[in-house]
Structure 1
Amino acid sequence: MKTNLFLFIVLPHLVQVLTAFHVTRGYDVHVVNGLPDSPNPLWVHCASGNDDLGERILHENEDFHWHFRDGILGRTLFFCHFWWGSKQRSFEVFHNPEKCEFGYGRHDHNPCYWLVKPDGFYFSNLFPPPPSSLKKIYDWA
Structure 2
Amino acid sequence: MKYLLVFLFVYAMCIIGNVYGGETNTLNIWNDLDPNHKHTSLFVHCKSGSSDRGKQEVLWGKKYTFPIRDNIWKTTLFWCTFRHGPRYQIGAVFDVYEYKAGVAQGGTYEWTAREDGIYFRLNQGTIHKVHNWKPMPW
Task: Mark yes or no: TM-score above 0.5.
Answer: yes
1:92 aligned partner? 95
TM-score normalized by structure 1? 0.78
Q: Cα RMSD between the aligned structures?
A: 2.3
Moved over 6 A (4+): none
Aligned residues, how many? 129
Cα pair distance change 1:67/1:14, threshold 3 Å? same
TM-score normalized by structure 2? 0.79
Amino acid at match of 2:28: H
Structure 1: runs of 5 or more not aligned: none
Q: Is 1:115 matched with 2:112?
A: yes
2:51 aligned partner? 51
Cα pair distance change 1:61/1:98, threshold 3 Å? farther
1:39 aligned partner? 38
Q: Is 1:65 matched with 2:65?
A: yes
Between 1:18-27 and 1:64-73, the stretch displaced more is 18-27
2:11 aligned partner? 13
Structure 2: runs of 5 or more not aligned: none
SS of the residue corresponding to residue 97 of structure 1 reads coil
SS of the residue corresponding to residue 17 of structure 2 reads helix
Amino acid at match of 1:118: E
**Following TM superposition, by how much is the alpha carbon of 1:121 offset from its aligned partner in structure 2, in angstroms?**
1.1
**Following TM superposition, by how much is the alpha carbon of 1:22 offset from its aligned partner in structure 2, in angstroms?**
4.2
Amino acid at match of 2:128: K
Does the CA contact (< 8 Å) of 1:18 and 1:24 recur in 2? Answer: no
Percent of matched pairs sharing the same residue: 23
Q: 1: distance between equivalents of 2:62 and 2:101?
A: 26
Does the CA contact (< 8 Å) of 1:30 and 1:114 recur in 2? Answer: yes
What does 1:66-85 correspond to in 2, within 5 Å? Answer: 66-85=66-85
Does the CA contact (< 8 Å) of 2:21 and 2:69 recur in 1? Answer: no
Does the CA contact (< 8 Å) of 2:111 and 2:119 recur in 1? Answer: yes
